[in-house]
Amino acid sequence: MHPVKQKAHDLGVDDVAFLNLREYSSPRSPDPRNYLSSARSLVVYLLRELPGGYMNQSFIRMHSLGGTDHADDYIGYNLARFIEDKYDEETITIPGHRPFEINEDSWRSIIGPISLRHAAAQCGLGILGENGVVVNLTWGSMIRIGAILTSIDLDSDKPMDYKPCESCSYPCDKMCPSGAIRIEGGQTIVDQAKCTKYSQPYDVGNYTRFLIKQIEADDKKKVEMLLTPLWFNLFMASMGYMYYSCIECTRGCPGTRLKKEYAFPEPKRRVASRLSDII
């Protein structure tokens, strides 16, 4: 096993692969060399999610799911340090979610520095499923992807010959309560704005809508809006405790290890938005 892969496993990853930038392709993403001019390869790794974190809708469960965020930070830093010390090469860790590069051109359509899902699929850690996310052979869609950009010239691992969607009966597109997923001509199209607005009720968009309503309210209403559970949830989310309220596109995915009664519910009624439930 390559020393970098061995180190990644020693640090606790569930799987790891290499992708040379010659094989990396993500049409909407920026050039990785914008972030590390000497970059030649990506080290991509997976962390499996804890199934128990999906078993309820409380805010507390996000601490369980957020554990992979902390693990990603720990693994990324220590693996990057190992590469720099052993090979005298340059590295930069890639955020699994935030921060983004926000500017006048990107803030309405936020794009990460690296498409982690494209990278993971291109180096054999899974395939891009009809739900628009990576499906792994062992853990389905219950995975977190991390990556390091490095100046080492690594050989790419081969893409996976795995087609779970062809034999899967779970209607991931129809299960989406926000109507964000549609499949046209065999291609999955995900409306990011619809997905985020529904699945992240305390994200920056809904936080901004709350603030606008508060600014427009009279003085008494301004105070009342602060003395609500909604305000505290928005505040916690702003501190980094991201809350995801929907996993309908992944809960029935092959390999997703959830209890049967939780993994295959009846399709829910589609709704355009939950903003009325929030504000």
Residue-by-residue pLDDT tens, the chain, 279 positions: 999 999 999 999 999 999 999 999 998 888 999 999 999 999 999 999 887 777 766 777 777 777 788 899 999 999 999 999 999 999 999 988 777 777 777 776 777 889 999 999 999 999 998 888 899 988 888 899 999 999 999 999 999 988 888 888 888 888 888 889 888 877 788 888 888 888 888 888 888 889 999 999 999 999 999 999 999 888 888 877 677 778 888 878 877 766 655 544 444 443 334 444 444
pTM of the model: 0.85
Q: For residues 189 and 179, what is the distance between their CA atoms, to the nearest angstrom?
A: 11
Report the pLDDT value the prediction gives residue 167, as an integer from 0 to 100: 85
Report the pLDDT value the prediction gives residue 273, as an integer from 0 to 100: 40
The two three-digit tokens of residue 220, written as one number: 């008494």
Report the pLDDT value the prediction gives residue 41, as an integer from 0 to 100: 98
Report the pLDDT value the prediction gives residue 262, as an integer from 0 to 100: 55
